[in-house]
Amino acid sequence: MKVLVIVDAQNDFMPGGALAVPEGDKIIPVINKIIPEFDLVIATQDWHPEHHISFANNHLGKKAFDTIKFGEIKQTLWPAHCIQNTLGADFHKELNTQNIEAIFRKGTSPKIDSYSGFYDNAHLKSTGLAGYLKEKEAKELYFCGLAADICVSFTVKDALKLGFTSYLIEDASRALQAEEFTAVKKEIEYMGGKIVQSEDV
């Protein structure tokens, strides 16, 4: 079974959003075009409580993009984004959601961040995505979305560790920082993943 995983195609990551990814909205028509090529389409959704630990405004004297540590975990502080039940947490209005069979929400615990669609950043809690895919007997996973260098890449790397054949669709993804994405792509390929374009699916 060929599966498309759309990562966090949400308003707050689009131009004008709270944590905008450059040209984030450009991926929407690309994703809509490839959706019919897949047997199963699922999505992840950043879904933070208002007092989330990763929000800079919840730490006195800190600002967005500062880095702090919680135990052994290094945490980047972000502008407040994708707060539950807000417009910023909604999917982009032009994303074709009618074929999305399931949505997996992440970052729901106020005490830990969750970049990957599979686990929180400490790998203490599963979102249920891995079990769902295994029950569906999914083998080939294709990933796209935002941001390519953060949530998309963490999700792809977890998929590879779980034994799924994994592809990152480069032109259906955008990065917050281009130089980080270059390094991430090399890491994904080193782990056995493949970087492809939408025309290849």
Active site residues: 8, 106, 151
Q: Give me the sign of the Cα torsion angle 133, 200, 14, 70.
A: positive
Does 147 sit behind a cis peptide bond, omega within 30 degrees of 0 on the bond before it? yes
140-146: strand order across its sheet: 100-106, 40-46, 2-7, 140-146, 165-174, 194-196
In this structure, how many other beta carbons lie within 10 angstroms of the beta carbon of residue 61?
Answer: 6
